[in-house]
C-alpha cells in the first residue's frame, strides 16, 4: 500500500467525508450508522462526487459485476481526490484485501471491523495504512448508534442479523459475511425506539438471512411483536426472507390491520426447477415454494409478493429453464428481481460442468424480466378502484411519490406537503409502473 504522505495530518484535519454504498439493504443500514458516527465526530457528509478529505467505498461482491463496480468507485475517488484518504469497507474489503491494496486504498476494513471506522481513522499515523479483515465471530452483536434528536429518513433499514449458514453452492456471501449471528434484541429495540422518536415511519428489517434471527429466547416473530409495541407504532417491513425460515404467525399478523407488520414478502426463488434447486443447495422444492405463495395470497389477499430469480445456473437446460418460466407464470408473484448466474472461483458451483453461455443467460434474463413486467402490471391492477395506505417520501414534478403497504409505488397530486406522511389514497389509474390516485376524503 502507498498511502499519501500526509495521511496523519489529514486524519486530524479532515472534516468532510463521503460514502458510496453498493449492494444490499444491509450495506445501506450499516452506512447510515457510519454516517451518524462520522457526523458525531465532527465530519460533514458530502456527496460522493464532491471533493472530500475521506472517501469510503462500501463494496459488494455478490457478483463479478458488483465487484468490478466497487473497484471503479475506488479508482474514481482516488483519481479525483489524490491527496485524500481512501477507505474500502465491507464485503470487498473482506474478500479482496490484496486487490484493495493494489488499488492504493489507505484503509481496508472487513465486515468485522468496519463499524470501528473512526477508531482506525484516528489511529492512522506515520503515513501507514492498515488492513483489518478478521473473520466475523459467531456471537450475538451490538451496533454503535447515535441517540440523537436529528430527524431521520421516513423509511429506515434496521440491521437485525448478519451472516448465513446455508452455504448455497453459488453464493459468495458466507465467505464475505461469515456465519449467521443475530443482534442483541435490546440493542435492536433501543435503536428502533430512537429512530421512531426521530421521525422514522417504516422500519425495514435487514440482514443476510433475517428469518434466522435468534437471540436468547427471541426469534424473528418475538422481535416483530416487540417492535409493534413502540409508540408511535411504526410500519414494519421484512426486507427479504428465505422460504424455510418464515415463522408460523407471520401471515396472521400481516392479515391483522391492527398490527404494524406490512403485508409484503420478498422470498428468493432462484429457480423453479427441482434439479437446479438441488444443485444450488436450496432447501425447498418448486412445489413447496408455489404452495406457500398460494397460501399467502389466500390468507392475505392483497399481499405484495416478490422473488429473486437466477438464470443460467450450470446445467440449466432449456427444458429446466422452461420449468422456472412456467412456475413464475402460474404463481401469484407481483414482481421479480432477475439476474444471471455469476461465476465465483471460491464457490462450489464453479466446479460444475455444463456452463451456460453469456448469450443464453442474457436471452433467458430478458424472457423472465418480460414476464416480471406482466406480473407487476397484474399486481398493480389489483389496487385499481381500491383504497390503500401510502407512506409519501418525496415530490417529483407535480406528484408526491410513496409506497403502499404492499410495496407498490403510488403517486398523488396535492398542494399539501406530504413528506413522511402516511395517508389513505383512492387508486384511480395504473400507468408508467405506478399507481395514481387521489387523497381520500
Is the pLDDT assigned to residue 78 strictly greater than 80? yes
Instruction: Answer whether residue 11 shows pLDDT above 80.
Output: no
Does 1 map to a domain?
no
User: In the chain, what percentage of residues exceed pLDDT 70?
Assistant: 95
Residue 315 near residue 354, CB atoms below 8 Å: yes
Domain boundary at 352, 382, 412, which? 382
* pLDDT score for 238: 99
Q: Are residues 165 and 274 in the same domain?
A: no
The predicted pLDDT at position 3 comes to 43
Say what the pLDDT of residue 89 is.
97
pLDDT at 125: 57
* Domain match, 328 and 421 both: no
**CATH of residue 317:** 3.30.750.200
- Establish if 343 belongs to a structural domain: yes
- Could you tell me the pLDDT band of residue 174, with boundaries at 50, 70 and 90? very high
Residue 2 located in a structural domain: no
Which CATH number characterizes residue 126's domain?
A: 3.40.50.12160
pLDDT of residue 7: 46
Q: Please tell me the total count of domains within the chain.
A: 4
Q: Are residues 183 and 252 in the same domain?
A: yes
Please state the rounded mean pLDDT for residues 213-241.
Answer: 98
From 3-12, 202-211, 327-336, the region with the lowest mean pLDDT:
3-12
Judge if 85 and 25 occupy the same domain.
Answer: yes
Q: Which pLDDT value is given to residue 188? A: 98
The yes-or-no verdict on residue 4 having pLDDT over 60 is no
Cα distance from N-terminal residue to C-terminal residue, the chain: 63
- Write out pLDDT tens, residues 330-344: 999 999 999 999 988
Q: Is residue 345 part of a domain?
A: yes
Same domain, 65 and 128: yes
- Residue 207 pLDDT exceeds 60: yes
Residue 152 maps to a domain: yes
Reported confidence tier of residue 283, pLDDT bands at 50, 70, 90? very high
pLDDT band of residue 365 (cuts 50, 70, 90) is very high
Domain containing residue 391: CATH number: 2.40.50.140
**Domain C-terminal end among 101, 132, 163:** 132
Range with the lowest mean pLDDT among 10-19, 380-389, 394-403?
Answer: 10-19
Indicate whether 9 pLDDT > 50. no
CATH number at residue 253: 3.30.750.210
Is 368 among the domain residues? yes
Same domain, 60 and 161: no
Q: What is the pLDDT of residue 12?
A: 44
Mean pLDDT score of the chain: 93
Average pLDDT estimate for 413-425: 96
Question: Are residues 239 and 153 both part of a single domain?
Answer: yes
For the chain, give the percent of residues with pLDDT over 90. 86
**Domain identity same for 100 and 21:** yes
Same domain, 55 and 162: no
Read off the pLDDT of residues 152-172 as tens digits, 9 standing for 90 and up: 878 999 999 999 999 999 999
Task: Give mean pLDDT, residues 179-207.
Answer: 96
| Residue ending a domain, choose from 217, 232, 262 | 262
Mean pLDDT on 347-372:
97
Note whether 251 and 309 are same-domain residues: no
397 and 292 inside one domain: no
User: Which domain, by its residues, includes 307?
Assistant: 263-382
In a domain, 67, yes or no: yes
- 95, 105: one domain: yes
Q: Does some domain include residue 158?
A: yes
Can you tell me the mean pLDDT for 269-289?
A: 99
- Average confidence (pLDDT) over 355-372: 98
Give pLDDT tens digits for 101-126. Answer: 889 999 999 999 999 999 999 887 55
Amino acid at each position: 500500500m502507498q498511502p499519501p504522505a500526509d495521511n496523519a495530518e489529514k486524519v486530524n484535519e479532515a472534516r468532510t467525508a463521503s460514502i458510496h454504498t453498493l449492494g444490499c439493504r444491509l450495506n445501506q443500514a450499516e452506512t447510515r450508522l457510519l454516517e451518524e458516527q462520522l457526523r458525531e465526530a465532527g465530519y460533514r457528509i458530502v456527496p460522493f462526487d464532491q471533493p472530500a478529505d475521506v472517501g469510503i467505498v462500501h463494496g459488494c461482491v455478490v457478483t463479478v459485476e458488483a465487484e468490478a463496480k466497487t473497484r471503479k468507485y475506488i479508482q474514481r475517488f482516488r483519481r479525483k481526490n489524490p491527496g485524500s484518504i481512501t477507505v474500502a469497507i465491507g464485503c470487498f474489503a473482506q474478500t479482496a484485501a490484496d486487490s484493495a491494496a493494489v488499488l492504493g486504498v489507505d484503509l481496508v476494513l472487513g465486515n468485522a471491523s468496519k463499524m470501528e471506522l473512526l477508531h482506525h481513522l484516528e489511529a492512522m499515523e506515520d503515513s501507514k495504512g492498515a488492513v483489518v479483515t478478521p473473520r466475523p465471530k459467531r456471537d450475538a452483536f451490538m451496533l454503535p448508534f447515535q441517540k440523537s434528536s436529528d430527524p431521520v429518513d421516513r423509511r429506515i433499514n434496521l440491521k437485525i442479523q448478519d451472516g448465513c449458514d446455508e452455504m448455497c453452492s453459488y453464493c459468495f456471501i458466507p465467505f464475505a459475511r461469515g456465519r449467521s449471528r443475530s443482534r442483541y434484541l435490546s440493542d435492536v429495540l433501543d435503536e428502533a425506539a430512537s429512530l421512531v422518536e426521530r421521525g422514522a415511519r417504516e422500519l425495514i428489517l435487514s440482514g443476510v438471512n433475517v428469518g434466522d434471527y435468534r437471540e436468547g429466547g427471541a426469534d424473528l416473530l418475538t422481535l416483530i411483536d416487540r417492535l409493534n409495541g413502540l409508540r408511535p407504532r411504526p410500519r414494519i417491513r421484512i426486507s427479504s426472507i428465505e422460504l424455510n425460515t418464515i415463522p408460523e404467525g407471520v401471515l396472521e399478523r400481516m392479515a391483522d390491520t391492527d398490527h404494524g407488520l406490512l403485508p409484503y414478502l420478498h422470498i428468493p426463488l432462484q429457480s423453479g426447477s427441482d434439479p437446479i434447486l438441488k444443485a444450488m443447495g436450496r432447501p425447498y422444492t418448486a412445489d413447496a415454494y408455489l404452495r406457500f405463495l398460494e397460501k399467502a395470497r389466500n390468507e392475505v389477499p392483497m399481499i405484495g409478493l416478490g422473488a429473486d430469480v437466477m438464470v443460467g445456473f450450470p446445467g440449466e437446460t432449456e427444458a429446466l429453464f422452461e420449468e422456472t418460466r412456467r412456475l413464475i407464470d402460474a404463481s401469484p408473484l407481483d414482481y421479480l428481481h432477475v439476474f444471471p448466474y455469476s461465476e465465483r472461483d471460491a464457490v462450489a458451483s464453479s466446479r460444475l460442468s455444463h456452463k451456460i453461455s453469456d448469450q443464453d443467460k442474457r436471452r433467458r434474463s430478458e424472457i423472465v424480466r418480460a414476464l416480471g413486467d406482466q406480473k407487476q402490471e397484474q399486481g398493480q391492477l389489483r389496487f385499481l378502484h381500491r383504497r390503500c395506505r401510502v407512506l409519501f417520501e418525496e415530490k417529483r414534478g407535480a406528484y408526491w411519490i410513496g409506497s403502499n403497504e404492499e410495496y407498490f409505488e403510488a403517486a398523488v397530486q396535492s398542494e399539501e406537503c406530504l413528506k413522511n406522511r402516511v395517508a389513505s389514497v383512492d387508486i384511480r389509474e395504473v400507468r408508467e409502473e405506478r399507481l395514481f390516485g387521489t387523497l381520500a376524503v
